[in-house]
Structure 1
């Protein structure tokens, strides 16, 4: 494994603790530095009665109470992170980002990582986090999204790669190479190859499979037709049928602007994938 700097977003939820456990195990295996990134107040509900207090004294009391609660949560998350890191004897550090601050804070804490580990809830429910597309575009770091309901300690033993012969897919393969080489099996899934026949070549998936094999990965190619089904559904169905514990995809889009929106396949997988998802752009 060649990952040497891993960032993990940590919070006070049970999922957050499991995420630290996985990131720490990965960092230990790779002999990598681990940075725990905590967004203060990211788990606070959107509406609270003390947002509507009136009077200077009441406002100050509410702000003091909020600050104390933030500090208590941060202290608890820090203890968890440091205890797990110490158990693994890792080189680690704990960083704090204030909610409502500039997106640059999140980008800066991801910019120098080989991999950023984040939970599914951060992307969909918790306030204070940069959208995944902004994080990918601004930092360039690949993101590993771990679903809230993920129970297995194994991630990356059996990997499914969504391959469409695009630049984004090629970048995802390169970023996922440490996982692909270490996996017991890698399946390159090619959906509706005739739609990009000119880029796939005579045998869709064969060239990228040969590339991975030269690196030591154990690769199989599976070509399927969507028959009108959404491509994301085809990917999820294949992952379930083969018992995959990691899906690798490029962050596809039809837009060319910097402030692009992800394509339907990527957004569906971000929202619904029941297994970890490694994304690059």
Structure 2
């Protein structure tokens, strides 16, 4: 995880928008890119004066973008004071999922916070998670605590998404004092067309020098989300690693109930990977 991408709206308070990401990049001895995204101005129509209205909207957006660009030097200096080895500042215009997908091609991890006031926030986050191509560290709203890895919890149900998330989180797992596997109902390897090879997560972690404890989760389906959060808090976890489970392969933005619940209610940082 040498290249961390941090996304936040605004550039008035570096600590509030990017503090966690800066400290994480410093701990990983990685580079940090801060990002602001502005939506493309929409062209109004159907009423008198629409052209003038659009011109005013466009001018306002361009002024905001110019101010965001000018803030770059301040961001880079601020990140350096937090021990970040190298920092950069990006301003983009367009659909945020498309922008993050493009930047994901040269970054290893995305860090951002959940917006507590946005309508259908789980849909927006699901689109980012499924299309950015990056592991995502999702912070609760207004999260101000620094990164801690005294205990990292792993949500495990035997799925490919869960394994990809755990595999991607290994640089953070190596810094954990405790690793707890929250094991739910495992998927049956013989229920698929053809037999899937057997896999033992604890053995896999041990091969990478990581010792893990096991904790069973009785709930399944949509009830698994609240059960995972409760178990993570009982273990005093600083981070919960889980896969982003899509309910439908044909409508990927519709996430499964457990993922949807965690995206909306998690009160600790999540590490997510689809």
TM class by smaller structure: 0.7 to 0.9
* Secondary structure of 2:115's aligned partner: helix
Structure 1, unpaired ranges of 5+: 43-51, 200-205
Alignment RMSD (CA, Å)? 3.5
Query: What does 1:5-154 correspond to in 2, within 5 Å?
Result: 5-12=3-10, 17-40=15-38, 54=49, 60-61=55-56, 63-76=58-71, 78-87=72-81, 88-99=83-94, 101=95, 103-121=97-115, 125=118, 131-154=124-147
* Secondary structure of 1:39's aligned partner: strand
Structure-1-length-normalised TM-score: 0.78
Would you say 1:277 and 2:270 are equivalent positions?
Answer: yes
Deviations 1:241-274 (A, max 9, x none): 2221111000112322364421011011011000
Change (3 A) 1:185 1:55: closer
* Secondary structure of 1:132's aligned partner: helix
Greater Cα offset, 250-259 or 184-193: 250-259
> Do 1:150 and 1:274's aligned partners in 2 also have CA atoms closer than 8 Å?
no
* Secondary structure of 2:254's aligned partner: coil
Separation in 1, partners of 2:260, 2:70:
34
Structure-2-length-normalised TM-score: 0.80
Q: How far apart are residue 80 of structure 1 and its match? A: 4.7
Report how many residues are paired.
261
Structure 2, unpaired ranges of 5+: 41-46, 192-198
Q: How far apart are residue 74 of structure 1 and its match? A: 5.0
Q: How far apart are residue 11 of structure 1 and its match? A: 2.6
Greater Cα offset, 258-267 or 235-244: 258-267
Greater Cα offset, 23-32 or 79-88: 79-88
Higher share of residues assigned helix:
1
* Secondary structure of 1:261's aligned partner: coil
* Secondary structure of 1:121's aligned partner: coil
What's the counterpart of residue 259 of structure 2? 266
Greater Cα offset, 63-72 or 261-270: 63-72
